[in-house]
Amino acid sequence: MSAAPMDDRAESIRMIRDSAAAVAPPGGELKRVRDLRFQDPGFDAGVFRQMGEMGWIGLRLPEALGGAGLGLGEACALAEELGAGLVPEPLIPAMLSAGLLAAAGGKGALPVLLAGEVVVLTAWQEHPDTLEVPGTPDASRRFLPMAAGADFFLVPQQEGGRLALYELSAARSAVTVERTQDGGNLGMLTPNLREATKLADDIGPALAEALDEAALLTGAYLLGGMERAFAMTLDYLRTRQQFGRIIGTFQALQHRAADVKMQIALTRASIESAAAALDAGASGDARRAAVSRAKARAADAAMRVTRECIQLHGGIGYTDQYDVGLYLRKAMVLTNQYGSAALHRRRFMAVSPKVEE
């Protein structure tokens, strides 16, 4: 690859990061996030519309379908910045849905979804901790993030050995919503496809790719969160005094901070490597191995880093009023979305020998 395209790509990623400041201000101001916790729908529809106006929902779609035509390098950079700000709007689930609607030929709610005027969630999951999509007719679909604010649902259903895609209005759906640790919500949908519109006969391959991308973007979001939590912790270690000394000068705390920094660096390397592999056209087992390695690393590291950050803060870190705890709460919710660390390790072990061959 020549230097010019590499420079152009770096500039594109930098601009994406800068644009995130519109909804995730640098410095970690979390008042907006706190105000939305444990409220319905758990996010700001106006901010979601702003995401559409900036082209984020369609960032991965081709320009012919109204998207920006950018790669996973840019998408992961955006997710990372949003994770640093704990942005609650369901951008990653919306991007997944946009990919399926594009695979269906741009039918249904795609134009209004890309504009951020509606929230479309894909109801694909029937069982905990899986990336398999049975598409069982009439089966309940679970773990829908921010379902309290959905306008439409996409429902994959098994028909003749293929996964057909239906679009269902939330107003005509039976949805049960439960609160999550971070103040958001998860929904369970009991689909009534008699009220739905069929959009495509087979979206199985597109859905598998979309789930992989959602898993990788979730890993990037977790990376942003752990980096911000660590930055807050370093600030605390540099200012808090005990026994007349700055606690950051204590060797035991320095060793723990160094370990946290290493976990973050390894996670970044995994996320960026996977994004580069997918942007370069990795497919099949190579694609799955790259994604699973990155998501497993991010999920494990996010829990380890945020817990360690709270402990390094001492007693104040355990109070809900102190912001560092919000990052642990978010990690507790997101580490299992689109596959837990254990699931992705199993998948990596299953496919990596085939990649080496």
- pLDDT tens across 194-226, in order? 999 999 999 999 999 999 999 999 999 999 999
Is 326 among the domain residues? yes
- Give CA angle at 156 (144, 68), nearest 5°: 75
The pTM is what?
0.95
Q: Which domain range does residue 245 map to?
A: 205-356
> What total number of domains does the chain contain?
1
CB-based contacts of 278, cutoff 8 Å, min separation 6: 71, 72, 212, 213, 216, 287, 290, 291
Is 240 among the domain residues? yes
At residue 356 the predicted structure's pLDDT band, cuts being 50, 70 and 90, is low
Is 295 among the domain residues? yes
Is 332 among the domain residues? yes
pLDDT at residue 5 greater than cutoff 80: no
Is 256 among the domain residues? yes
Is 334 among the domain residues? yes
- The enclosing domain of 303 has a CATH number of 1.20.140.10
Q: What percent of the chain has pLDDT over 70?
A: 97
Is 212 among the domain residues? yes
Is 11 among the domain residues? no
Tokens of 263: 């976990």
How far is Cα 78 from Cα 356, in angstroms, rounded to an integer? 31
At residue 99 the predicted structure's pLDDT band, cuts being 50, 70 and 90, is very high
What are the Cα distances from residue 17, in Å, to 30, 40, 90, 229? 18, 28, 18, 18
pLDDT given at position 2 = 40
